[in-house]
Every structure is written in C-alpha cells, then in structure tokens.
Amino acid sequence: MDKDKPINKKQKMKIKADTKINEKLVLKKDFLYFEKQEILLLNKQIKKKFEKEKNEIKLASSNIIKLNNDNKKNDDILKISKVSKSLGGKPILKNISFSLKRGHILGLLGPNGAGKSTLFNMIVGKIFPDTGVIKLNNENINELPIHKRALQGISLLEQHKGLFGSMTAYENLYAILEIYIEDKNKIETKIFQLLSFFGLHYLANVKANNMSGGEYKKISTLQRICNKNIKILLLDEPMAALDPLSISSIKKFILELRDMGLSVIITDHNFYAIQDILDHCIIIRDGNVMIEGSPSTVAKDKKVIKYYLGSGFKI
C-alpha cells in the first residue's frame, strides 16, 4: 500500500477468497504423489478420482510395514522371564513368565487391578523390573529406557491417549513419519499407502476430534506402526467404549496387521470382546499368571470360570 495515499474511511475492501484448486492428484499403478505440499482431498473432484482409481494401486505389505523376517515366524520375539515388580511397597507383579511368538496376537487378560498395565509399562520401558529379565529378539532390554526400546521396535497405544485432536489424519501421521523420513514426497507417499491399504483414505482431511471411536482407534494405531523398526505393537484395551460394529471392525483391522507379520499384545479385562482373534492368551490375577494357553483351553478352565469369567460364561 502507498503510504502517501490518503485512506478513505468509507472505502470498503473486498476480499475474494481464492477457491481455485490447481493441485492435481496424480495416481500411478504402484505409488501416488502430489505436485504440491498441501493435500486438498476435500475437493469433490479429487475425492471422486481417488475413489475411482485407488483400487488400481497395488500396495505390497512390505511397503507398508518394514519387518525383519530373518527369523522363523514361530520364534519368540519377546520373552518375559520371572519378572516381579513392587510399587510403593506393594507387590504388583509376582514372578511373571511368558513369551510372544513372531506374527502372533497375545491376549494379556485379567480383572481390573490384576497388573496388566504395570506389565505393559515394563515392556515399553516406562518402569523397570525389580527382578527377572525382558528379552527382545533374544537380547536383554532390561536397562533400555523407553525411547531406546521404541527405536528397537516396541510401540504402545494407551487406552486414553492417541491423536492430536485439532489435526487431521494426514497431519497426525506426518508428525510421526517426519521423525524417520526426511524426504517430504516419501512421507506423503507413505501416508497415502497406509490410508489406502486399510481403506481409510477418506479420513485424510478429517480432524481427529471429528472421527468416530473406531476411526480414531485405527488412525491412532497407524500412527504407532509408523515406527520404522516396528516389531511389536501393544494395544491397551483397544475395544473400550466402542459399539459392537466398531469392535468388529477393529478386530478385523488388528488381524490384518498380524497377517502382515506384526506381533501384537492386547491387554483387556473383557475376554468376551477379543477371544476370537487371539492366538494365545494369559490370564493374570493378583499379579500372578493364573493360566495360559489357547482361548478355548483358557475358557474351559474351572479356576478361570470361577474367579474371572463367571459361571454364566459360554464359548
């Protein structure tokens, strides 16, 4: 503005919003990218094109999650041996032992206050065992702090934590991927590979606060598996506060992750909600392992029925 030109107070300034969208979505057979940095999926024409051609994009699972497949699938990727922990002088975990096989879903179950959350916090490195050993890929990780265990490939999704509410799915995923990937185009490609592969592309520009409970859980989970060294995903009560249809959708989602080779541990107090997707499960009561085995074996155990499931339980 010319400083010497007098300002007419009655003059009305008209500001016309630039609504022209010139970002062109380019879809290729094996990958996709955008010409510009801003992603404007709200544009109906772009969304229509995305829907039409997304099925032609072939995304191999190895491009979504990078997993070390050097070892056999049935190897133990995580091993907990005789672990005990007291907090405030109160014994919480008492001589706990179990293992997680590569590419399996393990259910860590039990009533509220059984010690499940404490065990989760110990696996990710928030707290350390008083006695016992935790091994990842047969290496002792007892002394590794939480950030170093994350670099080793352990990710946790806590029940009451997840996304930045005012940020979109795209922005939430970007915030994690930029830690591991410097090239912006590669970050964007990775984001849309993840969203497309799991049928969540429609959430790219949706803010977390506007997502349904199931959508929020899925995007939160995708955020956790953005860890470039991901090996084990810990899910803390992923079915909590969800309706039956959302629970069914989340279980299918978790099974897809397992089929891609990811090892998963789910903690929950509700055996009914997750027993049909578990490869193996452990029931903890008062800091002790009550029983472990297949879901069908555990469900028939008399002690489990008496102290955890209740006499009215039927499988």
d(CA 65, CA 163) in angstroms, rounded, equals: 20
Q: What is the pLDDT of residue 84?
A: 98
Give me the residue spans of the domains in the chain: 25-58+167-192, 100-126+148-165+207-309
Partners of residue 267 on adjacent β-strands: 108, 236
| 3-state SS class at 171 | helix
Cα 132–chain centre separation: 28
pLDDT in tens, 277-294: 999 999 999 999 999 999
d(CA 96, CA 288) in angstroms, rounded, equals: 6
> What would the two tokens of residue 145 be?
């702090």
Q: Which strand (E) or helix (H) includes residue 302?
A: helix 302-304
Q: What is the pLDDT of residue 30?
A: 35
For residue 294, give every residue at least 6 positions away whose Cβ sits within 8 Å of its Cβ, in sequence order, or none.
279, 280, 281
At the topology level, CATH places domain 100-126+148-165+207-309 in: Rossmann fold (3.40.50)
Burial grade of 53 (CB within 10 A; 0-12, 13-18, 19 or more): middle
Phi-psi sector, 132: left (phi>0), alpha (psi -120 to 50), beta: left
CA-nearest of 315, 262, 218 to 106 is 262
Q: What is the pLDDT of residue 162?
A: 85
d(CA 299, CA 257) in angstroms, rounded, equals: 25
Amino acid at 241: A
Q: What is the pLDDT of residue 311?
A: 74
Q: Is the pTM of this model over 0.85?
A: no
d(CA 86, CA 186) in angstroms, rounded, equals: 45
Q: What is the pLDDT of residue 218?
A: 96
What are the distances in angstroms from CA 149 to CA 96, 222, 259? 20, 18, 23
For residue 110, give every residue at least 6 positions away whose Cβ sits within 8 Å of its Cβ, in sequence order, or none.
116, 269, 283, 284, 285, 290, 308
Q: What is the pLDDT of residue 247?
A: 94
Residues of the chain where predicted confidence (pLDDT) is lower than 50: 1-3, 5, 7, 9-46, 49-50, 52-62, 70-71
Q: What is the pLDDT of residue 38?
A: 39
Q: What is the pLDDT of residue 66?
A: 61
CA-nearest of 81, 64, 85, 61 to 136 is 81
